[in-house]
Each structure stands twice: as structure tokens, then as C-alpha cells.
């Protein structure tokens, strides 16, 4: 993997860059649509390319491990071939799922014992086997196995958890170096900063993660319920320590406003379920603000979904029709809303990048922050 910074913003810590993987080159900052099970829910791969122009999507180790399973993925020749996607893929390690889905999980030094949410079968994830699974998936970017602490979380728990994540990182790196890609293309490993909302812990963690000297770095354990200001403070603390010349990935973020604020603080990569999951439930994002398409006020609004939108659904269908589809839980409603929202998110980061390149990012961001949070 290659990362080049083309431009540093003069007034903020924002940067415009370029990442190259074995499956293509793309600009940063970037938003990566979430495709947990090898599918961005409701969106064809062709639409991701033509309409949304997403150069990289996420897969999830936990979910893919349970279904279809590593044997099938290996026989398929990896996830790219399995799903017909020749652009980049990043896989989350499953640390977050173990924290969010499994109430009966047991975190031990060796790894995590958890039960499948599908059939209750007991499995153990270790740093080693999570690396092995991501080798089999064949993601361009693999994530280290971490423990994502909840919020609130007392400092003692946060410290112990962070230290465990650090020990797991050493094991991840070791396994990563001992193993080879299976399908002839290069793979990278990103470690993850933890430390909850404690500046002291975040500093320690960022130093540990920087010292691992991987090709890119991630910040985890945020956007789990803490106030946004606290999240921004943690990003600043961490980004003061993480190397400038490597991509920084803020995991699980967020609302459009969060993304702009994080870009201003030096983040290059994002993923989040909001444009997809909230889209399926009627939340639409526009440059003028947020629409809850289920609201009665749109019932007879026959104007286009987004007259400034760039995807084919934006002008093709009316708000009233989309409202009808979402309220009736028609599959097409979820598809249209998702395509619109992902189109918006990718356009948002592309526009942010243009402003970084043109030295107009700070003023543009400040004007957008108010607009984007408006409820229409």
C-alpha cells in the first residue's frame, strides 16, 4: 500500500492525499461504505462504481467468518472474487462485533470466547486466528484485533482493556509477518488506538500504535455514546502523536458534521453505518440538512429527492414516492435511500478534498457544519 499527501491545509490539520492498494488508487479523505456480509445492503456493486463511485468498501471478519465461513471464502478465491468487486476492501477484525453483538462474551488474555448470534455456537477469536481469517478473506487492509471499550467506562477498565489490546497487537503483527497473502496481492495491517475518553491513555496508546510502524493507523473506541466534543478532543490528542505521513482511519464515524470536524483534525478515512442503516429507516442527508422522509410534511412533496444530488435516484424519484416506499417497507425504498445517502457521503468527502486543495476548507467547513446539522 502506498500513501501520498498532496496538500496540507494551511488553517487546519486537514490533508488531501492518495492511497494505492493492489485494487486501485483513491483520493483521501475517503468514506468507505459498510458491506458487512460482502454486500452494501440494497446496493449493487455496479451502482457502487457508477453512481456512488466508492473506491473501497468494508467487510466484516466476524460476520463473514460465521457466514459463509472461511472454507467457502477460500474456495471462492477470496472476498473480491466471491462478491465480484475488483476495487479495494478493508475488513474490520470483529472486535467491535464481539463487544456489541455478543452479550455472553468472555474476554481473556488468549482471546475472546463468544457465541454466534445466528445459532449460539461457541467460538474463540484470538489475534492469530483473526489475522488468518483476514488472510483468507483477502482484504487489502486488515484490522488488528482489539477490544472496543463501551462508554462510559471507568479509567481502570479502560487502562486494562487498552493494555490487552496492545498485547494483542504484538501478536497480530507477529502473525501478520509470519504469514503471506493467499491470492497474490498485497495486504496491509492497521493497528487501533484505544484508551476510551482519557487523554493520558490515548497518548500511551497512540505511542504504542505509532511504534508498531504499520502502513496506516486507526482510532477506535469513539462514537460509542460520548459527547462529540469529547471525541474531537481525543482525535486531537491522538493525531498529535500518530505519524503524519500515514493514513489515519477513524472507525465508525459518523454524521456528516462529525466527518468534517474529524477531517479538520487530520483524519483521512471513515466508515459508518449511518448512511446505510439510517437511510433504510428514512433519514436522508442533503447539503441543506437532514430529512426524515417519514414525516407527514413530505407526503405530497413531489419534488426530486435531491435536486443537487449526483446519483440517478436523486432526480428520478420524488420525496413523496420515497416516503411511500419507506413507510410501506418496500425494498426499493431502502435501495433508493441508501444510494442517495452514499452518493451524498462520497460527494461530501470529495468536496472537502477540493476545498483542501483550494485552501478554502476552513471557511467552507464552518459554513457547512451549521447547514448539515439542520433538520428540514
Partner RNA sequence: GUGGUUGUAGUUCAGUUGGUUAGAACGUCUGAUUGUGGUUCAGAAGGUCGUGGGUUCGAACCCCAUCAUCCACC
The one-character DSSP state at 255 is: S
| Footprint (CB under 7 A) of RNA, residues 81-100 | 92-93, 95-97, 99-100
Interface with RNA (CB under 7 A), residue from 299, 303, 363, 374:
299
Find the part of the chain contacting RNA (CB under 7 A) among 197-205, 222-230, 344-352, 354-362. 222-230
Distances (CA, A) of 159 to 200, 208, 226: 10, 13, 17
| Beta bridge pairs of residue 22 | none
Query: For the chain, how many residues are written?
Result: 376
Least Cβ distance, residue 8 to RNA (angstroms): 25
Least Cβ distance, residue 90 to RNA (angstroms): 9
Query: What are the φ/ψ torsions at residue 250 (nearest 5 degrees)?
Result: -95, 110
273 is an interface residue for RNA by CB under 7 A: yes
Binding mask 100-139 for RNA (x = CB under 7 A): xx---------------xx---------------------
**Calculated CA dihedral for residues 205, 211, 213, 215, nearest 10 degrees:** 20
Q: Known catalytic residue: 271?
A: yes
217 is an interface residue for RNA by CB under 7 A: no
DSSP helix/strand/coil, 275: helix
CB 342 within 8 A of CB 283: no
Q: Which listed residue (9, 92, 306, 314) is catalytic?
A: 92
Residue 257 C-alpha cell reads as 458534521
Find the part of the chain contacting RNA (CB under 7 A) among 34-42, 125-133, 175-183, 303-311. 34-42
38 is an interface residue for RNA by CB under 7 A: no
Name the residue nearer to RNA (CB basis): 239 or 278: 278
Q: Which listed residue (9, 271, 306, 314) is catalytic?
A: 271
Query: How many alpha carbons fall within 13 Å on the CB side of residue 360?
Result: 7
Residues 6+ apart with CB under 8 A from 213: none
Name the residue nearer to RNA (CB basis): 25 or 374: 374
Least Cβ distance, residue 119 to RNA (angstroms): 9
Q: End-to-end CA distance of the chain: give it in Å, rounded.
A: 41
Among 144, 148, 147, 122, CA closest to 133 = 144
255 is an interface residue for RNA by CB under 7 A: yes
| Footprint (CB under 7 A) of RNA, residues 62-81 | 63
d(CA 241, CA 248): 11
- Taking the CB of residue 207, how many other CB atoms lie within 10 A of it? 13
Contacting residues toward RNA, per CB under 7 A: 34-36, 40-42, 58, 60, 63, 92-93, 95-97, 99-101, 117-118, 143, 146, 148, 192, 218, 220-221, 223-225, 228, 251-255, 258, 271-274, 276-278, 280-283, 292, 294-297, 299, 327, 329, 331, 334-335, 338, 375
Active site residues: 92, 271
Amino acid at each position: 500500500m502506498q500513501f501520498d499527501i498532496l496538500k496540507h491545509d494551511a488553517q487546519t490539520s486537514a490533508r488531501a492525499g492518495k492511497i494505492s492498494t493492489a485494487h486501485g488508487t483513491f483520493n483521501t479523505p475517503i468514506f468507505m461504505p459498510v458491506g458487512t456480509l460482502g454486500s452494501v445492503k440494497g446496493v449493487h456493486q455496479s451502482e457502487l462504481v457508477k453512481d456512488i463511485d466508492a473506491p473501497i468498501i468494508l467487510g466484516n471478519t466476524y460476520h463473514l467468518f460465521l457466514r459463509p465461513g472461511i472454507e467457502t471464502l477460500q474456495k471462492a478465491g477470496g472476498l473480491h472474487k466471491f462478491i465480484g468487486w475488483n476495487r479495494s476492501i478493508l475488513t474490520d477484525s470483529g472486535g467491535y462485533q464481539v463487544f456489541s453483538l455478543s452479550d455472553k462474551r468472555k474476554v481473556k488474555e488468549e482471546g475472546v470466547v463468544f457465541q454466534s448470534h445466528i445459532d449460539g455456537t461457541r467460538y474463540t477469536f484470538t489475534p492469530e486466528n483473526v489475522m488468518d481469517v483476514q488472510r483468507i478473506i483477502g482484504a487489502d487492509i486488515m484490522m488488528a484485533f482489539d477490544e472496543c471499550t463501551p462508554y462510559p467506562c471507568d479509567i481502570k477498565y479502560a487502562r486494562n482493556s487498552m493494555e490487552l489490546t496492545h498485547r494483542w497487537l504484538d501478536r497480530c503483527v507477529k502473525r501478520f509477518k509470519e504469514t503471506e497473502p493467499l491470492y497474490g496481492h498485497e495486504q496491509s495491517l492497521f493497528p487501533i488506538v484505544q484508551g476510551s475518553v482519557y487523554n493520558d491513555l490515548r497518548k500511551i496508546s497512540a505511542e504504542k500504535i505509532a511504534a508498531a510502524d504499520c502502513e496506516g493507523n486507526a482510532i477506535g473506541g469513539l462514537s460509542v455514546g460520548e459527547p462529540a466534543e469529547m471525541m474531537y478532543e481525543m482525535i486531537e490528542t491522538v493525531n498529535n502523536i500518530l505519524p503524519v505521513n500515514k493514513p489515519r482511519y477513524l472507525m465508525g464515524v459518523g454524521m456528516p458534521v462529525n466527518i468534517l470536524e474529524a477531517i479538520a483534525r487530520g483524519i483521512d478515512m471513515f466508515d459508518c453505518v449511518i448512511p446505510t442503516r439510517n437511510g433504510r429507516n428514512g433519514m436522508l442527508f442533503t447539503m441543506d440538512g437532514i430529512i426524515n422522509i417519514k414525516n407527514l410534511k413530505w407526503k405530497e412533496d413531489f419534488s426530486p429527492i435531491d435536486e443537487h444530488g449526483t446519483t440517478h435516484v436523486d432526480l428520478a424519484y420524488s420525496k413523496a414516492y420515497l416516503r411511500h416506499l419507506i413507510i410501506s417497507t418496500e425494498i426499493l425504498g431502502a435501495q433508493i435511500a441508501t444510494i442517495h445517502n452514499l452518493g451524498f457521503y462520497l460527494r461530501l468527502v470529495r468536496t472537502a478534498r477540493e476545498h483542501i486543495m483550494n485552501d478554502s476548507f476552513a471557511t467552507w467547513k464552518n459554513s457547512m457544519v451549521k447547514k448539515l446539522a439542520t433538520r428540514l
